[in-house]
Each structure stands twice: as C-alpha cells, then as structure tokens.
Structure 1
Amino acid sequence: MKKLTRPLLFVLACLVWACSSTKSLKPGQILYTGAEVKINPDSSGKIDNEKQIKNDLEAKTRPRPNSSILGIKFKLGLYNLAGEPKKPKGFRNWLRRKGEAPVLLNDVKLKYNNDVLTSYLISEGYLQANVTGDTVVKEKKGKAIYTAVTGQRYKINKVTFPPDTGILTKNINANKDKTLLKVGDFYDIDTYKNERIRIDNDLKEIGYFYFSPDYLIIQVDSTIGKNLVNIRVKVKDIAPDAALKPYTIKNINIYPNYTLRRDSALRRLKPQVYNDFNIYDNRNTFKPKLFDRLVFFQKGEPYNRKDHNQSLNRMVNVGAFQDVRAEFLPVDSFRNNQLDLNIYLTPLKKNSLTFSVTGTSKSNNFVGSEVKVTQTTRNLFRNAEQLDISVSGGFETQTKGTALGKNSLSFTAEGKLTFPRLIVPFYKPNSTNAFIPKTITSLSYQMLNRGSEYTLHAVKGEYGYNFKENQYKEHNFNPISISYVSTGFPDSLTKKTLFEQNPLLRSTLENQFIIGSNYNFTYTNQMEDSRRNNTYFYGALETGGNVWGLFTSKNNEGKRTIFNIPLTQFIRAEADLRDYYKITKNLIWANRLNLGYGFAYGNSTSLPFVRQFFAGGSNDVRAFPARTLGPGTYKVPDDAIFADQGGDIKLMLNSELRFKIVSIFYGALFVDAGNIWLRKEDLGEPGKPETARLGSGFKLKNAFNELAVGTGAGLRVDASIFVVRLDVAFPVRKPYLPEGQRWVFNDIDFGNKDWRRQNLIFNIGIGYPF
C-alpha cells in the first residue's frame, strides 16, 4: 500500500488544483466556462426538436471550454500544477504539455459565433432567424449566452426538375420519383446537398463518368409567402461537355505485376488476351481466370459506379496486392464516348516471416509469456491463395497461493490454407458481392502440459467458408470439423486423485473424437466512429457427433466409437452482445451480455473439456480467479490441486465506464456479474458423497440468485496499435455463501491486510476485456 500512496497523493493534488483552477489567473483574466443558448425566450411557443437544436447550437460555439471528466477539469489542473517551468526541459515542462491552458473569456468572438449560429438555423429552415450573444461574469468565471429568435420554419411548396431537353435531362427526370425533396417537408440544406448526390449516383450507374454534384444547382424561392419555398433543380450552364454524356468501356488492360520501375517495359509487352481482358505480365504471376472474380467490367458496357467500387473492393480484399489502382482514360481526348480502363496491381511479397513475443499475467496467479513465429506464403497456386504456418510456445507458472510452483507449458503448430473463392462440390457459386468469399482449410496440433497434473494433446482439422454480406455482417461456416483429444497423466495415482476430487473429469479428460460442424455470425458497426451508440454481436452454434453417430457401432460399454475411441456427442450455442454508448467524446459506457448453453447426449454426459464454459479471470468476472468460479453455488476447496471448473451453461453480465485521463492513459470503473452451471447436478460417484458438487446444477428460478458479482477499477495504456490493461477487482457477492449472506459489502476493509490478500485480484491483459 505504501507504493500506492505517492501516486494517490499526486492524483489528489491534481484534483485540488483542478477544483481551484481560477487561482492561477492573472488580474483581469476570466475563465471561460462555456456557452448557453436560449431559443425564443420571449415567446411561449416552442420549436420542433428544440432540445436537439439547442445542443447543436451550443456545440458549434467557439472556443470550447476546458475539458472535464465527471465535471472536474483534470487537464487544467495538471497545467496549473506544473506552474511556470524554470527550465526548457524536465518534468514540469512535460506536465504542462500534457495539461491544458485556461480558456479565457477574452477568446470568445461573439460576432463570429452569432453568424455561425444564424447560418445553422437558416440551413435548418428558419430563414428569418437571428442570433445575438452576450457574456455573463461571476467572480473569475464567465460564460457566453446566445439568444436565438428563430421565426417560423419554412416548408417546401413545389419542386421542379429541369425540362426534358436532351439525354441528360431525360435521365435525371427518369428517377425524379426517388427525389429526397418532398412537398410539405421542412426546408433543410443537408437534404438539398444529398439530393444532388442522389442524382449524381443515378447518373454514375448509367455511364456519366465525368458528372459531378457540383454541376447541379438547387434554386430556392422564398418570396412566395406563407413561410413556403419553391425548389428548382437545374444543371449549371458551366457544366463541361464531357460531363453531359455517358461513356462505355472500350479496353480493359490489367497489369498484375506493376511497379513504377517497370512501367514503360510493361506497356511495350504484347498482352495475353483472356475474355475481355488484356493482361500485361510476361512473368505469369497470376492465372488469368483469377480476374474473372475480381473485375466486374465488360467491354462495350456503360461505365457504372457499382462495378467500379466492387472491383476495387475485391482486389483490395483478396489479400494479394499491396497497391491497387484503377485508371479511366478517355479515348481520343473526349471526342467519342469511350473509356479505356487500366488496372495497376502491385503484389505483396511472396513470402514473409513474423515473430512476436507476448507477456501475460492472469488472475489465477499465473504469469508467463508466449513466442510465436508465422511463415506466410502468398499466391501459392497463382490464384491468390495464402498459406500460413505458425508455431508458438509458452509457459505459465503459479506465483502465489496453494499451488505455488506449478507450471503449465504449451506448444501449438498450425497450418492454414486460404482460397479466395468458394469451393463447393458439384456447384459453382457466382458471387457478385463486393467482399470476396473464402474457403479455408486448417490443421493444428496443441499440447498443454499442466506439470504434475496432466498433459493434453489435441489435433484439429477444419474445412469451411468465410464470407461477408457487407461491411457489418460476417459469416463463418465449417461443415467439417474434426478434433482428436488425448490426455496423459504422470502416473496412475495422480489420475486417480484427480478423478476422486472431481469425477466429472473422467468424461471430460478421457481420449475422444469430436467430429461435427460449426457456424458463427458476427455483426458490428464499430467502424462508424460518428455513431453515438455502437453494437457488436457474435453468435455461434456447434454440433459434435450428430451425423457420424448414425454410422458408428457401440462398444461393450454401450458407447459409439471410432477406432475404439469414444465419439463425443453434443450441441453447443453461444451469444455475445456488446453495446458501446458515447456519453461524451472521452467517456464511454460499455456493456456486455454473454450467454452459453451446451447439451451433451448419447456417449457424453457433459461437454468435452475443450468446449466447456468457464468463469472468472481477466475477461469476465474479474473479482474471481480464472476458472475457479462455479459451477453454481459450489466452491472449489482451498487445498484442491485442480481448479478448472467447467460448465454446460454460462451467464455473464459486464458494465464498464471508460474515460480518458491524459494522453494515452485511460481509466475504467466496472461491475461484473456471472456464473456457470452444469445442466444436471453433479452427484459424484455412487457411494462417495464427498465427491459431489452440490449446488452445481442449473435451475432457471435460482439463476440470478446464484450470480457472482465483483467490482473494481482499471488503468489502460492505449497506444492505438496495442492496449495494455491493469485491473484491480474485489467481490461484493459470493454465490457459494449461504443464502442471505452472499452480499459481502459489510466485509470490505481495504485497511485490512488479510482482507486484501484474500479478496483483491489483479489482472494484467492485452486489449480491452470486451
């Protein structure tokens, strides 16, 4: 605790300075605290969406006041704490740079803001709007108050399109029923801009390559009275001739092995003619049929933007090129209506080698590292295939607790071959999606050595498909997934002891085949930073032994086997829903709901160990050591040598408030709740009640009463390319305690060494927990 004292005192000092931020102001200086907008204060009538417009107006005022976290101007506090540095370098200079100078009332330009706010109201249809600003000072703080008198909002009375005097105007009028300009709608400048873009998009789909929204003007007549306007859409007289006619594709020239150094030499080559393509590549880098799936244009067809975008997206997403460029050139200097398409493709290096070292520290008191080497070979069969071969090894060791000195070693080898197309027997799919579908085959081996406990060997092979509907939705389907899992023990005594402590291990750690299929679906809009609310959803369904079980015979024990090895039979489903709400730019409220359900049948009484659900650890309920929580109200004995508590059912709830502190340092306050359960109560071995795990079975009516709850705080170092996370958490609800005693708020005692040792859990991780 002494080590924590100085940082805490430093933070408290900063907060004190932040709260008294006006003390460092010079005589006559006034700290600017922000702007307030009053809309029609002298009128009893309210405008539509008044609250939203008020917020928009206040957001457009400049300058912005000093930033704050939960009402505290933390950066201003750092700036004041640093004071005036006496040296050009040093800690005070660094602290002052990380802080924020006070924003003064003298920096506010009222006339500029008046004009900006008035212009915004006019763009929203309040054509008679007027904004005036003034300042209010109290002691050493001041704010700006803007009064907006809006007047009535104007509506559209009539919309007129250009008369049908030629091919261009005929094409514009052909889609005027799709117009965004509707009679009766409010005047809105953004709608007018979008209408020009809509017309341009329609024209781009029928060959008008050189047209632009800037060649359209939308004229507004607001003099007709009754707060109405007439709208007229018109093609500008200054629009060039090239923009007024459609173009068709004449030649499609592809340079698949292009570099600037080889530019002139490539152009002198005699092309290989394949379908509609002229391919300039004397090295035969790629098979010509690859471009059937990448280029959507055909000779003689009109240019259209859809084919343009889909072709570029596919060439980028195929993963074979480091640079992609499409060039459209007019034939005979605009004298005719034809374009030549030149496609320049620079391949990625054939082979690459990556090496990575990662460090981990987990909440089950294990610390360790992993080394991984990956060899990538691209364009393996000249069809943009990619082969990835990786080898990794790592270790974990117990640093404290009852199992001090126990080591865990892991080794993984994997080969993955990706084909940029769907390979389906007896069927040739013809996908026109902008995202290229992929067929993926993989083979992997993993060894996990738990020291004196057991050694797990797993061989897995998969064949499946990856395809994206659009930028939001992605599907992965593996119709064939085969795993063989075998377990070795140091000696028979260790094996017997483990199984006596947890009889369920007998079925989860025995040698077994897992043959089945799996499918998962991902939806996310997290790439849209402009959204205030972002969503992520992951759903997965896996089956094992369902079909193969029909073709296998039973052994003497009544189990279906392959090569005398039991076949695992189960169905497993999981869903993970996350929501990220931006309260402010630097304050995000993140929430997660994670559900899992597994049903074992036939040969199996429970899910195989490698498919079970686990709770506790750095990514779910952080106040409990990894894999020690549950199942249900069962508690692992303190002297147990095996603490991997798996389950068939999982319920997890997480809520985290994330905020920026300074620079790349972010903080978090979080609450986690969850648990796992067995589908049926574990009654232990017959005649041995001490081996039972009472309370481990799932009952819907008891589920919420059996949740573990923990809370804590965290620090993140977010450098964009990586995130290092430190969380400290402690339990506030322990499901294994008797009913009525599970909430433990009264036991919390940070000053008690024994309480801290038993309850504080530190988690170090890479990346965010969810």
Structure 2
Amino acid sequence: MKQLTRPILFILACLVWAACSSTKSLKPGQYLYTGAEVKINPDSSGKIDDEKQVKSDLESKTRPRPNKSILGIKYKLGIYNLAGEPKKPKGLRNWIRRQGEAPVLLNEVKLKYNNDVLTSYLISEGYLQAAVTGDTVITGKKGKAVYTAETGNRYKINKVTFPPDSGILTKIINQNKDKTLLKVGDYYDLDTYKNERIRIDNDLKEQGYFYFSPDYLILQIDSTIGKNLVNVTVKVKDIAPDAGLKPYSIRNINIYPSYSLRRDTILRKLKPIEYHDFSIYDDRNTFKPKLFDRLVFFQKGEPYNRKDHNQSLNRMVNVGAFRDVRAEFLPIDSFKNNQLDLNIYLTPLKKNSLSFSVTGTSKSNNFVGSEVKVTQTTRNLFRNAEQLDVSVSGGFETQTRGTSLGRNSLSLTAEAKLTFPRFIVPFYKPNSTTAFIPKTITSLSYQMLNRGSEYTLHAIKGEYGYNFKENQYKEHNFNPISISYISTSFPTNRKDSLFEANPLLRTTLENQFIIGSNYNFTYTNQMETNRRNNVYFYGGLETGGNVWGLFTSKNDQGQKTLFNTPLTQFIRAEADLRDYYKINRNLIWANRLNLGYGYAYGNSTSLPFVRQFFAGGSNDIRAFPARTLGPGTYKVPDDAIFADQGGDIKLMLNSELRFKLVSVLYGALFVDAGNIWLRKEDLGEPGKPETARLGSGFKLKNTFNELAVGTGAGLRVDATIFVVRLDVAFPVRKPYLPEGQRWVFDDIAFGNKDWRRQNLIFNIGIGYPF
C-alpha cells in the first residue's frame, strides 16, 4: 500500500506546485485570466428576483472560460506546465501536455462582445431597459473581467391578443388559445414567445397545414403602455406564402417496401397491389400487405396531421425490418388544389445476418470475466417483419473478492427468441395506436453454469409474453407464461460438505420447477441529457406455482410435484429507484433505493436460489464481500467454505458523487447501506442448534439498527462505449457486532496492515454500479 501511496502523493504535489506557479511561465505583458465577475445594480439598493441565479447565468455566458479547476487548483493548467515545452514533435512529454490546458490569457477577453451577449440575455428575460458594461482588473500577473449590469425593472405581460377569426386558420388559432403559454402577469420571456409560436404551429399541423411554419407568426410587443407592462399581439405575417395558409389532405398512399435507388425506375412502372388505402409496389412480395395496417396511420381523403406522420415514421423505424425509411409528401398542384400524395420508400435490412461479440462481465457476486457470443438473426421470417434470433454464448469468470478466492465459473448458454411486431392474444385482437411497436416474444433457452468443485447448475427456461412502450419514458414487459426447470449436480462427496457448511442450500439447490408469470415496468428520462435531474425506476412482480399448483399432484412428502419434481411456489416483488442530479457539467450526484420482498408458501420454505436477494459485492454494498452480508445480524463464519447468504427481504441505499478528473478518467466518492433478511428466523435443522442463523429474521422495528454501512472511493475509465471501474471500500458499520458497538469509526486505521487486510475491499467492475 505504501508503495502505491507515495507515487500518488508525489504526483498530486507536483500538480499543485505546477498549478500554483502557473504564472511563472507567462511572458511580459501577459496576464492569466481567472474568470468573470458580474455585479448587478451595484449602485442601487433594489435587488432583483433570483439575483444569485441570474448572476450565475450571466457569468456562465461570458467568454472565454478560465482554466478548469477543482477546489481552486487549476489542475489541467498544472499538467500543461508540468510537461514543459516539448523538444520533440512526439513522445511522452507531448502526450502529457495534450492532457492539460494552455493558460487562458486576459487579452483573449472581448469586452464589447460579452457586453452585447449579457445585455441581450437580460432583455430576453424581461429586463427591457438593461445595459451591461465591462472592464478588466489586474492583480499581479493575474486578471479578471468585471461586468456591471444595470437591469432596470422587469416587465410583465399585461394583455395577450390573438388574430381575429378571419378564416379557418385564425379560427383554429383562437380555438386553442386557452392552451397559450403567454399568461397575463407572467414576466416577459423570449424563450416562452418562441415556444408559443411552435405550439401554434403544432396545432395547425394537426389540422392539415402541412406547409405552415413558426416563422410565419410574429409576436408584436408594445412596451410603451407604462408601469413596466407589455401588450403582446399574435399575428400571421402578411408575407406568409399561400401554400402555408391552407390545409392539405391525403390523396394517394404509395408504398415501396423493397426500395433501392438502383430499382427506382423499375418499381415505379409496376402495377401496384391495391390493399385498403395503400398502393403497394413490390414485385418480390417481400411483405404481406396487412403489415402496413400497423405501420401507416394515414388514410385516403383525411387531412394531413403531424401525429400520424410521426407515429408512422416511428413505427416503420422501430419495427426492425428496414435499413432506411423515407416519407415524401408531394403536392398535386399547390396553386389549384390542396391534396398531397404520400410516397413511402422502405429499404429492407438483409434477411440473414451473423454477429459476433466479446463482452466484459461484472456481477454483484464479484465474478469478473468475459463472454463470447454468436447470434444468427433471421428477419421477416413469415413476411410480417418477425425476427428470429438464435444465439450461443460461453463465458469464463473468476471471483476477485469473497470468502473463497480462486473460485471459477464457466457458463454455456443457448437461446432462441422469436419476436412478432404485434400483440398475439388468444380470442382477442388488440389495436395499439401508439408510436411504438408492441411485441409478442417467445423464447427458449438452456444454460449450464459450472462452479468448479462446488456444483453444476442446469436451467431450461421458456417464456411467452409481451413488450410494449407506452411512450419514450415508460416500458412494460409482461410474461403470462414463464417456465423454468432447474437441476443441480455435485462432484463426488461434495454435496454433503456443502450442505453442512450452508444448510439453506439443501432447499435452494434442489431440482425444481418454477412455473408462473412475471411483469416489470420501467420508467426513465435519462435520454433527456439536457435535464438537471434524471430519474430511473424499475418495478417487478413475479409469481411461481400459484395457478399451476391447482393442477398438480402431491408426493409422499406432501409436496406438489410436476414430473416427480417439486413445484416452487412464491411471490416476489422488487423496486429500484435511481436519481441522477447534475450539480454541474462534470459533477453528478447519483442515488439509488432498492427494495425487495419475497414470500414462499406451499411447497417452498424459501425462495429458489435464482430468485433470492443478496447483499454485498461490486454493484451492491461494496464494503462487504459478495453474498457474505446478512441475513440480519447473522455473520458467516470466517472458515466457511461456501458463502451464498440469500434472503427474502432486501433494503439497500447507495449515494455516489461522480466527477471528471481528466480526459476519460473519472472519480467517485460513495456511501452504501443496506442488508437482507429472512421473513422468519432460521432455527436450523432439528437437533442441530449449531446450524441456526440467529438474528436472521426480519423485524420492522429493528430495520435501521441492522443496516450495514460502507464508504469508499473509486476510479473509472469511461470511454462511452465501455466503462472499467475500480472501487475501494471499507465498512463503517457492521450489523453483526453487538448493539452499541456496530459503528466502527474508531477502529479505522489505514496504516495498520491487519486492518487493511480485514477491511479494505477492492472491487473491479464493468460499467457503473447503478
């Protein structure tokens, strides 16, 4: 540890020294630019609303930006200066210098340009009498820009007037004026005015005004009425073209399902297949005509509307059968009539493709390794845009941390998945009108998981279910039929020793059927990268044996069986809520709350091994080895040969501060807390009190008193397409210690070798923990 710590401290000291001495390399007459300061109404006693935020916004709009810094240390400038002037065009010195930043100089500041930018921004926010003046202040070899903003009063909206009903277009505008973004009493805001023009344009597009544009609208502002008020008048420009002022309807819908530029002339000469409102030009009969009932929402004779336009494009893109999608609207004669011909050009993907992938894997049980996967994809299997994926994969993993280091895992998986781009429901034909393609998915898979000298698990799984997106944020997965058969084999003389070390494995690793249903819901707005706060939520519910148990017989032990194999009966629920708050562009505060509850009944005394909850590991509570934490206040013996402590109930909280260091290197500081519990105390086998796990049962009043807490720091290489993570953590609260002694802050001793060996947990991971 000392061998690693000293070089790191030396490098940090060099960076601090280089950053602090950054001005020594400046030439005479050069001054290091340290940033901008904005003063708002300094000679007036009156303050404006949200002054702190306005000041921050103004300062962020000044250019150039000063050298980046953390805690006042200009680390990138330090790297630049530390490298020095390179003597050769290539080499290590050049590479180090490129990771830094050249000094930003005061003479790069354009005061007039910044004055105009800041004044324009204040006017757009309603300070119509604003004026900004700038100057520079030099101290030693450093300088800054100081901008003085005289804002005046902020103007509010007094009245909003829409155009009189002089025709169909203005009538539509007036019919929807109750949805206006311009509210009497609100502050003048240029962005709101721009969005109001877009809102009106959207309303008109829904009524057939294909060629209308927001630029054809003008919002006139009268600020002369006094009392810091404005009147807003919405008008259609006199110079708006005639084509934009009339609605259009659809005349013909022509579809080219196997289009390519090379075949353009041939396709246009074909006699089309007439199907409903579509004329389909496809001499190869690539797709069944009824497919387009689900992809194209337009009908002959109806007015053009943007909703049908967007939904049709989204469906054709998301169906997964086309490489290129293009919709063309052609006016028949923009002067004499108001009709459009719709031409849809679709270029199919190749029917067959073979993909090969090598991926890194990182699991919560501290197994790290790689997987090789080969997938054969067959598209448009039955000419309705179906897709068949047949894959074979194999992986090898090794455990990087745990009670049994050196454990290896070998997996082999084969899967066939058939996706239909529609709902297939017996005795019912659902009709989905959303922009997203609903899917029916059937799958069959086999997996062999070999844990070396411990056991080999074989799992056969079949599912039939549905996937559908309610919108871009919400996704549903429902599998009414999910069947799994799990069997386990053990090396000679290994089974008894495993069960003696962990009696719970006798029920979790026995052969069993899991037949039931599952549903999960996902909500996320993470695709909105411009949001300050992003949220992700996952909720899942699974049942096993609840309905099928009615049709099974019982064996001699009173268990319900299927093909002489016990049927697993349980209910399992899980929720995962994550929040990502962007403090600034390079600093994110990420939080997670994970809850789980399982109830085993009938045949089962505990959840199946593959459905249990576990705690600890690289994606969980990182200060504890994987699957060694809990249940409750129970502690796995130090000499245990096998640690897989599962539970029926789980509570976990994670908080992590993520920040950029340099280039693709990121850092993190984190705190994890949580535990797992059994619904009922494990009293062990009859007559064997030593097999009991005392303190393992769940009691609501003891929940927070039995939480484990750990903290630590990490480094991440985030190259966008992959993330490699190294976290180091240590416990600060151990739930298995006696009450009153569970917080262990006083025991922390980084300089003690024995403490480090017993408490420091290193986790290697692929991807972020959450």
1:392 corresponds to: 393
1:363-404 superposed Cα distances (whole Å, 9 cap, x missing partner):
867553322211111111111111111111222345788746
The whole-number CA distance in structure 2 between the counterparts of 1:447 and 1:364 is 18
Shift of 1:104: 1.8
1:415 corresponds to: 416
Unaligned runs of 5+ in 2: none
**Farther off after superposition, 197-206 or 365-374:** 365-374
Distance of aligned partners of 1:399 and 1:267 in 2 relative to their CA distance in 1, 3 Å threshold = same
Shift of 1:124: 1.5
Q: Which amino acid in the other structure matches residue 6 of structure 1?
A: P
1:167 corresponds to: 168
- Within a 5 Å distance, the mapping from 1:265-344 to structure 2 comes to 265-332=266-333, 334-344=335-345
Q: Does 2:554 match 1:554?
A: yes
Q: Which amino acid in the other structure matches residue 569 of structure 1?
A: Q
The whole-number CA distance in structure 2 between the counterparts of 1:339 and 1:104 is 58
- Within a 5 Å distance, the mapping from 1:101-140 to structure 2 comes to 101-140=102-141
2:213 corresponds to: 212
Distance of aligned partners of 1:397 and 1:235 in 2 relative to their CA distance in 1, 3 Å threshold = closer
**Farther off after superposition, 166-175 or 309-318:** 166-175
Q: Which amino acid in the other structure matches residue 290 of structure 1?
A: L
1:612 corresponds to: 612
Shift of 1:48: 2.3
**Farther off after superposition, 124-133 or 432-441:** 124-133
**Farther off after superposition, 393-402 or 197-206:** 393-402
The whole-number CA distance in structure 1 between the counterparts of 2:527 and 2:229 is 40
Contact 2:401 2:762 in 1 (8 A): no
1:753 corresponds to: 753
1:693 corresponds to: 693
Shift of 1:610: 0.6
Q: Which amino acid in the other structure matches residue 708 of structure 1?
A: A
1:296-347 superposed Cα distances (whole Å, 9 cap, x missing partner):
0001111100000000111111111121111111113543211111111111
Shift of 1:642: 1.5
The whole-number CA distance in structure 1 between the counterparts of 2:407 and 2:203 is 68
Contact 1:361 1:763 in 2 (8 A): no
**Farther off after superposition, 171-180 or 675-684:** 171-180
Contact 1:69 1:659 in 2 (8 A): no
Shift of 1:565: 1.4
The whole-number CA distance in structure 2 between the counterparts of 1:701 and 1:182 is 51
Q: Which amino acid in the other structure matches residue 187 of structure 2?
A: F
Shift of 1:438: 0.7
Q: Secondary structure at the match of 2:70?
A: coil
CA RMSD of the aligned region, Å? 1.9
Contact 2:368 2:764 in 1 (8 A): no
1:531 corresponds to: 531
Distance of aligned partners of 1:180 and 1:267 in 2 relative to their CA distance in 1, 3 Å threshold = same
1:72 corresponds to: 73
- Within a 5 Å distance, the mapping from 1:187-266 to structure 2 comes to 187-266=188-267
**Farther off after superposition, 73-82 or 607-616:** 73-82
The whole-number CA distance in structure 2 between the counterparts of 1:344 and 1:319 is 15
The whole-number CA distance in structure 2 between the counterparts of 1:450 and 1:86 is 56
Q: Secondary structure at the match of 1:596?
A: strand
The whole-number CA distance in structure 2 between the counterparts of 1:742 and 1:231 is 66
- Within a 5 Å distance, the mapping from 1:354-503 to structure 2 comes to 354-360=355-361, 366-397=367-398, 403=404, 406-491=407-492, 493-503=493-503
The whole-number CA distance in structure 1 between the counterparts of 2:71 and 2:280 is 61
Q: Does 2:594 match 1:575?
A: no
Q: Does 2:631 match 1:631?
A: yes
Q: Does 2:104 match 1:96?
A: no
Shift of 1:636: 1.7
Q: Which amino acid in the other structure matches residue 410 of structure 1?
A: S
Shift of 1:8: 4.4
Contact 1:363 1:625 in 2 (8 A): no
Q: Secondary structure at the match of 2:537?
A: strand
The whole-number CA distance in structure 2 between the counterparts of 1:334 and 1:488 is 79
Contact 2:243 2:334 in 1 (8 A): no
1:523-564 superposed Cα distances (whole Å, 9 cap, x missing partner):
111111111111111111111111122232322212111222
Shift of 1:761: 2.2
Contact 2:366 2:618 in 1 (8 A): no
**Farther off after superposition, 311-320 or 124-133:** 124-133
Q: Secondary structure at the match of 2:554?
A: coil
Contact 1:414 1:442 in 2 (8 A): yes
Shift of 1:465: 0.7
Shift of 1:726: 1.7
Q: Which amino acid in the other structure matches residue 752 of structure 1?
A: N
Q: Which amino acid in the other structure matches residue 638 of structure 1?
A: D
**Farther off after superposition, 530-539 or 481-490:** 481-490
Residue identity over aligned pairs, in percent, reads: 87
Distance of aligned partners of 1:173 and 1:619 in 2 relative to their CA distance in 1, 3 Å threshold = same
Contact 2:401 2:626 in 1 (8 A): no
2:24 corresponds to: 23
**TM-score, with length taken from structure 1:** 0.96
The whole-number CA distance in structure 1 between the counterparts of 2:400 and 2:236 is 75
The whole-number CA distance in structure 2 between the counterparts of 1:365 and 1:309 is 45
1:51-73 superposed Cα distances (whole Å, 9 cap, x missing partner):
22222211111111112234332
The whole-number CA distance in structure 2 between the counterparts of 1:223 and 1:579 is 47
Q: Which amino acid in the other structure matches residue 170 of structure 2?
A: T
Contact 1:363 1:763 in 2 (8 A): no
**Farther off after superposition, 390-399 or 652-661:** 390-399
Contact 2:514 2:567 in 1 (8 A): yes
Distance of aligned partners of 1:549 and 1:63 in 2 relative to their CA distance in 1, 3 Å threshold = same
Shift of 1:165: 2.8
Distance of aligned partners of 1:71 and 1:258 in 2 relative to their CA distance in 1, 3 Å threshold = farther
Distance of aligned partners of 1:26 and 1:277 in 2 relative to their CA distance in 1, 3 Å threshold = same
The whole-number CA distance in structure 2 between the counterparts of 1:712 and 1:400 is 16
- Within a 5 Å distance, the mapping from 1:507-526 to structure 2 comes to 507-526=507-526
Shift of 1:751: 3.3
1:584 corresponds to: 584
Unaligned runs of 5+ in 1: none
Q: Which amino acid in the other structure matches residue 278 of structure 1?
A: S
**Farther off after superposition, 457-466 or 554-563:** 554-563
Q: Which amino acid in the other structure matches residue 375 of structure 2?
A: T
Q: Secondary structure at the match of 1:66?
A: coil
The whole-number CA distance in structure 2 between the counterparts of 1:336 and 1:636 is 82
Aligned length: 769
2:544 corresponds to: 544
Q: Secondary structure at the match of 2:641?
A: coil
The whole-number CA distance in structure 2 between the counterparts of 1:436 and 1:315 is 9
The whole-number CA distance in structure 2 between the counterparts of 1:172 and 1:465 is 41
The whole-number CA distance in structure 1 between the counterparts of 2:253 and 2:146 is 61
**Farther off after superposition, 231-240 or 130-139:** 130-139
The whole-number CA distance in structure 2 between the counterparts of 1:177 and 1:727 is 54
Q: Which amino acid in the other structure matches residue 293 of structure 1?
A: R
Contact 1:249 1:340 in 2 (8 A): yes
1:561-586 superposed Cα distances (whole Å, 9 cap, x missing partner):
12221111111111111111111101
Shift of 1:4: 5.5
Q: Does 2:30 match 1:36?
A: no
Distance of aligned partners of 1:73 and 1:95 in 2 relative to their CA distance in 1, 3 Å threshold = same
The whole-number CA distance in structure 1 between the counterparts of 2:159 and 2:728 is 64
Q: Does 2:758 match 1:762?
A: no
Contact 2:366 2:763 in 1 (8 A): no
The whole-number CA distance in structure 2 between the counterparts of 1:708 and 1:267 is 70
The whole-number CA distance in structure 2 between the counterparts of 1:684 and 1:608 is 18
1:223-280 superposed Cα distances (whole Å, 9 cap, x missing partner):
2222222222222122111111111111111111112222222112211111111111
The whole-number CA distance in structure 1 between the counterparts of 2:538 and 2:424 is 25
Q: Secondary structure at the match of 2:553?
A: coil
Contact 1:360 1:764 in 2 (8 A): no
The whole-number CA distance in structure 1 between the counterparts of 2:231 and 2:39 is 31
Q: Which amino acid in the other structure matches residue 615 of structure 2?
A: A
Contact 1:407 1:451 in 2 (8 A): yes
